[in-house]
Structure 1
């Protein structure tokens, strides 16, 4: 069914901190989408572009669907509430607080009407995705504004961002997301990779961060405990990894991929082991390889822990904010580190678990080496890791939570990321996140299972996850429940381990894994 924009009225506003830009909107219509191209003229630095949309039918919007999970676990919104999507952990315009789970998410806003779903979306040509956040704001009856934040880092004349509008009603918000992803691929604004998928990328996955968390919470829950001495990262060691994994091995639970977790590194900005934690990383990797398992390395982006100040992005007062992935000296070190970690002549690891992509620097007038910002800077960072890993080992696997179609060629496996612990709805959260990710690209999907509300939710999610994607575990011993009524540690039972083994063996059989 066609949705008509016949009476659409549009307006473009350009907010600058330095200089002045003016702009025009050029309209182009295809079968599925209407495109509003923003054409900028002038000089200076653009802080924000605002595209106003006024159309009588927009009065009939009933609710909106946020394409990024949020800390309040809101999955449907009132049409008058602001929806913000982007790559920052926090942004002044984020109505529901931190949104690091999908960074960036697909930048599309599905809106429900009586006849079906329509979509408003944002895109840009490769190289011009310099924005950090995109917001949809109700501006009055039948009127919306699309705010595209450049934070002062867009300085080019010509075509900037484009706002897209669907030309037909679709059956669900997932169909709107899928249509948006196809649109960017057809425009060649997002890649459509022809994937060659090694079987091992589909393997069952283990990261023992949950076991580290359990120890921390158990210790902190004791009377008069000095909680600052029991941070979760304290327990990331080769010995603990080995001990926890062997519990699953003893029960015959088939694990195909092992990941290190936060603080296996000496300095967080580099993928180099801390020998006080991993006394013989190569021996750890060799042991798993001999038994048919792969080993990947956790890497939290943007950290400046241990990095020279000159390799950082700094605020206008010179304070280091995050790592600067464009700095040429840093790039050289990253290339050498990745080769050493992944190459068979080095530690012979098999890829990376990329985390913390939402810790992008925030603010105007930052001092940095290159001219990239927003999505482009993050993409460049991930691509540097991806390309160097593939150069060292062609089947190296890169797992991210960058859910935008632009990242499809630098992400092999997409991870659903941390769940929330405020409500016992793990399966519902998994379904919500899986559907968004599955509509965005054809990447494999790691189903995650961190955090869990309580042991009962863990059990339900254990059964659900293998029916959708790659089953994963963050716990081997039990769950420290975070629900108000279940706060405390609940160990796994003999029956839990047996069912776990059966579920994962059945998954591997269906996935065609030997």
Structure 2
């Protein structure tokens, strides 16, 4: 094939024993004798050797490849497409497709056959096609030094060594190996970095810092970028997996989608698109990923005009409830009472603090599944909310996602013993319960929206039973879609707050909460990172900066000053910071007022 001269385009050139793909931003080289494609920058700097024989395992068996055919090549619309026929394994037909455009490579795998998908290995897989290279599980070559993962982990290591595995998923809890519930999900974007190649947008020498924050969502393209992004670009209906995994060892890596035996293939199946593209930095790569989702019609990033009250300062009672545990004992949910919240508001009023949004936290309800008010705690919830409205304050009710408390079995995801594990958004019975609960909370009680929590309890694992086909990310999206759809039917300005800064969730959330603070790590640094991820992924959505827990009063003061730069100020404390036995001072209350005033000025600009 001839080489095209238009620098905006991509071209293919057949050479002896191989093939070269040229573009303004990368080079891709294939050697007929090796099952790899070498991905380099335009200057020839090698980033990866991509292994070309993926494996799609099922509950019926492990997939493998016995022969990798040379690619069939086609060229149109400014792109070169390579189709590699793969023989052997458990599928009737299997084809790897690489579509090379001027700015990146879109890859996917097409199979035909039957089975319940477990792990889908991309740029890695079982191979026994060339005696020269042996047999077994092969991975891609890693010619980069570190990997950026946007999902916040408890240790707050945004970049990790290239030989360390990691994951982006929709699960998490405080147990070992699962302490990454803060975003569910974060953008499905890994960004690989070569040491010594520094460009605008780098994280900094400490490999964990976040650059200065200006709320930007830059979308640029550079041929000299020192970062390579590997990201999933797909409609939410194709995201029936719980996690996007980076599996690594020394000098090698592969990528994996975890379907957990919960996706049935009958006939044709195509994996979600995995895009490879160079970027100016990790946040730039996230912005590119979101922009591509929008361009392909997978996400509506701009929600349009937002009610003014959405951007008013937030007061959430959870931190004050936690302080009452220190004073009175019990558990924090025990202290979510009408009497206590009246006290919280009185304390704020005494210091001339008037939040625009009030959040009633865990546990105002009698059951998580039915969401009926606990009258022993809140004898007059309706009147309490009405009085807040009279003061020009809006009220959000804390809503615990997934919890099956109070639900019948037919509304739940069940385990092998028939026991409820979570609510089931694919169940007509649960959808009816949830829609009725939303109407009760917004129309009967008078609330104005929801603070969604515990979305990281998304069900996961083989053998779980549900009514419909959605799983993983798609299943969580379905849950939030029902909640928000019914909320908007009740009140057009209802506010739905989640911690799901992924572009396909743009249509099921109104505000992104930065979520709990890691008290063992630098507070401003971690929250700046979360805000940058959110702004890059969802540039037009409101941001709740959160405020709990805090390692010290000094840390609380520092973060309070920072909040207006990141989003809407959020106050979780009333009389004490929960880690400090000394009460807040007049100076502390002055700081909150100054912060809220600074936000009012900033948001009005």
Q: TM-score under structure 1 normalisation?
A: 0.91
- Say if 2:533 is the partner of 1:436: yes
1:161 aligns with 2:161: no
Corresponding residue for 1:105? 186
Give a deviation string over 1:346-381, Cα, whole Å, max 9, x none: 222111111110101121121211111111111010
Say whether 1:44 aligns with 2:115.
Answer: yes
Q: Which residue of 2 aligns with 1:83?
A: 166
Deviation at 1:57, TM superposition (A): 10
Q: Give the counterpart of 2:458 among 351, 360, 364.
A: 360
Shift of 1:121: 1.4
**How many angstroms apart in 1 are the aligned matches of 2:479 and 2:229?**
30
For 2:28, what is the secondary structure of its paired residue?
Answer: coil
Q: Distance in 2 between matches of 1:352 and 1:415?
A: 12
Structure 2 Cα separation of the partners of residues 23 and 118 of structure 1: 27
**Partner residue in 2 for 1:145:** 254
Pairwise mapping of residues 378-457 of structure 1 onto structure 2 (< 5 A)?
Answer: 378-423=476-521, 425-441=522-538, 442-457=540-555
Q: Tell me if structure 2 keeps the 8 A contact 1:28–1:36.
A: yes
CA contact (8 A) 1:124 1:160 kept: no
Question: Secondary structure at the residue paired with 1:11?
Answer: coil
2:280 to 143, 167, 171: 171
Structure with larger Rg: 2
The alignment partner of 1:368 has SS state of: coil
Post-superposition CA distance 1:177-210 (Å, at most 9, x none) = 1111112222223333442211111111011101
What's the counterpart of residue 200 of structure 2? none
Tell me whether 185-194 or 413-422 shows the greater mean CA deviation.
185-194
- C-alpha distance in 2 between matches for 1:490 and 1:159: 59
Superposed CA offset, 1:284-328 (max 9, x none): 111111111111111010101122223211112222211112221
Q: Give 1:219 deviation, angstroms.
A: 5.1
User: Aligned partners of 1:97 and 1:194: how far apart in 2?
Assistant: 32
Q: Quick one: distance in 1 between partners of 2:449 and 2:342?
A: 19
Structure 1 Cα separation of the partners of residues 98 and 298 of structure 2: 18
Deviation of 1:476 after TM superposition, in Å, equals: 1.0
Superposition map of 1:109-508 within 5 A = 109-113=190-194, 114-115=196-197, 116-141=226-251, 143-156=252-265, 157-166=268-277, 168=278, 170-218=279-327, 230-343=330-443, 346-423=444-521, 425-441=522-538, 442-481=540-579, 488-508=580-600
Residue 58 of structure 1 deviates from its aligned partner by 5.6
Shift of 1:162: 2.0
CA distance in 1, matches of 2:139, 2:322: 52
Secondary structure of the residue that 1:360 maps to in structure 2? coil
Greater Cα shift, 191-200 or 385-394: 191-200
1:16 partnered with 2:58: yes
Aligned to 2:21: none
Equivalent residue, structure 2, for 1:4:
27
Range that drifts further, 308-317 or 97-106: 308-317
Question: What is the aligned partner in structure 2 of residue 484 from structure 1?
Answer: none
Higher relative contact order (CA 8 A, sep 6+): 1
Contact 1:71 1:96 (C-alpha < 8 Å) held by counterparts = no
- Find the aligned partners of 1:164 and 1:152 in 2 and give their Cα distance: 25
Q: Deviations over 1:256-287 (max 9, x none)?
A: 00011011111011232111111111111111
Q: Is the 8 A contact 1:193 1:409 kept in 2?
A: no
Matching of residues 63-74 of structure 1 within 5 Å: 63-74=146-157
Structure 1 distance, partners of 2:139, 2:445, is 62
Any conservation in 1 of the 2:410–2:429 contact (CA below 8 Å)? Answer: no
Confirm or deny: 8 A CA contact 1:13 1:23 kept in the other structure. Answer: no
What is the deviation of 1:128?
1.5
Report the CA distance shift for 1:200/1:16 in structure 2 as closer, same or farther (over 3 A).
same
Secondary structure at 1:258 match in 2 = strand
- Residue 512 of structure 1 deviates from its aligned partner by 2.9
Contact preservation (8 Å) 1:311, 1:324: yes
Q: Is the 8 A contact 1:72 1:96 kept in 2?
A: no
Deviations 1:479-508, CA, capped at 9 Å, x for gaps: 122xxxxxx523211110112112212322
TM-aligned CA deviation for residue 218 of structure 1: 4.7
Q: Provide Cα deviations, 1:221-277, integer angstroms capped at 9, x if missing partner.
A: xxxxxxxxx111010011111111221122112300001101111101123211111
- CA shift, 1:122, in A, is 2.0
Structure 2 CA distance for partners of 1:4 and 1:449, relative to 1, 3 Å: farther
In the superposition, relative to structure 1, how do residues 95 and 208 fare at CA in structure 2: closer, same or farther (>3 Å)? closer
Instruction: Specify the alignment match of 2:97 in structure 1.
Output: 26
CA displacement at 1:15 relative to structure 2: 1.1
Unaligned runs of 5+ in 2: 1-23, 30-37, 39-49, 62-89, 126-137, 198-225
Contact kept, 8 Å, 2:564 with 2:602, in 1: the verdict is: no
Contact 1:123 1:129 in 2 (8 A): no
Instruction: Report the secondary structure of 2:562's partner residue.
Output: helix
